[in-house]
Amino acid sequence: MQLEDILTLERCHSRLAGVSKKRILTIISELLAETTTSLEAGNIFNALMAREQLGSTGLGNGIAIPHCRVPMCEDIMGMLITLEEPIDFDAIDGKPVDILFVLIVPEQEMDEHVRTLAGLAELFNDDDFCFTLRQTNNSEDLYNIAIMY
């Protein structure tokens, strides 16, 4: 999996203010809807919240990978976000989250969804990669670091 296949510069956001899990998922949904004509913010938000109700997507070590399948989604899409201040995300280690990679997948893409999640989990398990993302202060640098890894 190459991040450049699913990530774009306009879907990278450095140092967003998050406040809470629900609020950051709302912001994410609105930002994703702005980058595509086929998706509505409400549908994205509802799908993300439904997935979170099954169990937190907070992996630990300050990382979360919120993900879901969304009706009308045509292609796998990613969004990379670092937060200004860490927020509680009900992560498995109880630590707050400051890096999120959001994955939105077409409803029919079950196998690719699982493969992409596995690749993301491996990538975000790399301490050097996460350290570098945390030191980045602008969205363009965030994007360039992500696609070069």
Please list the active-site residues. Answer: 67
- Residues whose CB is less than 8 angstroms from the CB of residue 141 and which lie 6 or more positions away in sequence, other chains included: 14
Give residue 91's identity as a one-letter amino acid code. Answer: A
Q: Say if residues 59 and 98 touch (Cβ distance below 8 Å).
A: no
